[in-house]
């Protein structure tokens, strides 16, 4: 069942990318929603309700599904709703990782340092091209992402968090860059080609690792 759900999700992602190229709006909505339902059901199948940790990860997956639905629309208030849903998903993942703490001080230092370098580099490149009205929301969102990445890296480095979860958190954060480049700058639609598969790979890794 696990392999079947992973392959089914990847199939819908491929369909979504094909539909994006042809601007088939209805097919984009269907395939993207179906792909997201696959990772939610995969997490449920893996026993998402068994521990406090897994329930928080499952909450993050459901919030991500909600964000995916909101981001299907080009309307600003729905896009903000999508950002809020994904921000809440990052918070849920962070809370899940923290259930496994305390992490060693060296792990926190390494995780925070690597996160500052990574997120700082992203913002330096992204900030000049951001549309003015999005700069404050993006700055706030970046802090939330940074907290998740730092916590995931600290847990992974300290040995308290399984490495697939740390990898998934980092992949989720990187996939957010493609959304920003596509929707919040002068537009870079090509970023969807790598951003969408990376996003679903991250969520599948979260779900399959429970």
Inform me whether the pLDDT recorded for 128 exceeds 80: no
Note the pLDDT of residue 196.
92
Residue extents of the structural domains in the chain: 52-208
Q: What angle do CA 152, 210, 59 make, to 5 degrees?
A: 75
Residue 167 to residue 157: CA distance in whole angstroms: 11
Average pLDDT over residues 49-57: 96
Query: 36 near 62, Cβ under 8 Å?
Result: no
Say if residue 48 is preceded by a cis peptide, omega within 30 of 0. no
Backbone torsion region of residue 23, taken as left when φ is above 0, otherwise alpha when ψ lies between -120 and 50, otherwise beta: left
Percent of the chain, pLDDT > 90? 70
Q: What is the pTM of this model?
A: 0.93
* pLDDT (mean) for 162-186: 84
pLDDT per residue over 24-34, tens digit each?
999 999 999 99
């Amino acid at each position: 069942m696990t392999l079947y759900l992973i392959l089914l999700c990847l199939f819908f992602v491929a369909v979504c990318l094909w539909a994006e190229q042809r601007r088939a709006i209805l097919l984009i909505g269907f395939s993207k929603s179906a792909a997201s339902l696959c990772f939610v059901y995969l997490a449920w199948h893996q026993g998402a309700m068994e521990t406090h940790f897994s329930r928080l990860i499952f909450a993050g997956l459901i919030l991500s599904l909600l964000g995916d639905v909101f981001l299907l629309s080009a309307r600003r208030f729905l896009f903000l709703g999508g950002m809020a849903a994904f921000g809440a998903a990052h918070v849920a993942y962070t809370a899940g990782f923290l259930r496994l703490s305390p992490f060693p001080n060296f792990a926190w230092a390494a995780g925070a340092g690597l996160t500052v370098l990574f997120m700082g580099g992203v913002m330096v490149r992204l900030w000049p091209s951001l549309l003015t009205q999005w700069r404050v929301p993006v700055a706030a969102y970046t802090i939330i992402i940074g907290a998740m990445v730092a916590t995931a890296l600290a847990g992974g480095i300290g040995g308290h968090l399984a490495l697939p979860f740390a990898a998934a958190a980092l992949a989720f954060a990187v996939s957010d860059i493609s959304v920003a480049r596509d929707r919040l700058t002068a537009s870079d639609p090509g970023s969807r080609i790598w951003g969408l598969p990376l996003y679903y790979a991250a969520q599948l890794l979260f779900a399959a690792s429970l």
